Amino acid sequence: MPGPAPRHTYLDHAASTPVLDEVVEVVARTMRDHGLGNPSSLHAPGRAARRVVEESRERVAQALGVSPSEVVFTSGGTEGDNLAVKGGYAARVAADPRRDRLVVSGIEHHAVLDAVEHLVATQGARVTWVEPDADGVVHPAVLDDALRADGGPGTVALASVMWANNEVGTVQPVAGLADVAHGHDVPLHSDAVQALGQVPLDLSRVDLGVVTGHKVGGPVGAGAVTVRRDLSPVPLVHGGGQERRLRAGTPDTAGIAGLAEAVCLAVERRAGHAAYLAGLRDALVTGALALDLGITVTGPWEPGDTTRRLAGNAHLRVPDCEGDSLLYLLDAAGVACSTSSACTAGVPRPSHVLLAIGVPEEEARGALRLTLGRGSTAADVAAFLAALPEAVGRARRAHAAGRAG
């Protein structure tokens, strides 16, 4: 009988991170105790399940700084972003047809970008793209200029800037961005999926905020979008009155309970967790730079900093390599990482995030995203640094052979 698979050095926590033991226990207990009741049913088992859902809603709301009535449970970040962008746009246009414009940063996750492209293709939406600086920061003054362009703020249905970038780890000045958007009576949506558990998160600052469980040790398939009380996005799914009539479907009682546990633990443990990850990140970055392979760091980075860059994010550019080659070579050496968002893995093109911040296409092709999380250790960093030189050497030889051919 074959033994257990060898342990990989896992440096892809931004894609998904292991489920916490506490969450497993909550989900299992909820499934045992409330697996019979539908939270929408009026009988005793249904009411018991509903109580779990509403108590979980209260816990999530308190952790995220919003009212329980503003928390709408979803299947995760992608659904939350789609509801916020598509639903928010449709509601604003229905109220005022002049507001047919979206103002969106060029470094958003594809859950936002593809939703925007859908609105352009099917609803005639116009888009003004907000350019980040070379570190990936969207400055409030630049957002202000974008809102004033193309007909002015009165033509804008929604602005969208993510709280922290999923590829290069840049944390945005959300408070200032929100002040600008609200000064023009424009709702601000922010994808906060990566920010949760690494930076202070107060979703009351934005009108539509999105989180998901599986980035912070919760179950896959459970997330939430916070919707300001005076907003009513057009729902994407119809068939019931659940979740403020914004998201039809039977609530996943156990998944929601697990989400609440993960969110609360992420917020409670954030400061210590971020400090620990920043130490590992800094060791990884300084170690990679010391290998004299021509590596550069993408985005803002100063040792110890957890405010301008996510504590667990290291993004390296390796010249004269293809990122995919590096990924496969490192994987063969027992190190799991990525080149960009997991949602675009396997797509043979440079990262749109790197191109948006001005990285030349040739440089953008040699990118590695390394993300740390709970369970990461100094041994993981050492394993990556030990495997990197040979992987780079082989990737460069393959790159040179391809160009010569």
Q: Is 264 a catalytic residue?
A: no
Catalytic residue of the set 264, 321, 337, 343: 343
* Count of Cβ atoms closer than 10 Å to residue 57 Cβ: 22
Question: Between vectors from CA 292 to CA 289 and to CA 293, what angle results, nearest 5°?
Answer: 90
Contact at 8 Å (CB) between 223 and 16?
no
Question: Which runs of E-coded beta strand occur in 14-77?
Answer: 71-74
Closest of 192, 342, 323 to residue 267, by C-alpha: 192
Intra-chain end-to-end CA distance of the chain, in Å = 45
Chain centroid to CA 400:
35
List, in sequence order, every residue forming a beta bridge with 129; answer none if it has no partner: 104
Task: Find all residues with CB under 8 Å of 240, minimum gap 6, and list them.
Answer: 40, 248, 249, 250
Sign of the Cα pseudo-torsion (234, 239, 241, 247, in order) = negative
Catalytic residue positions, numbered:
343
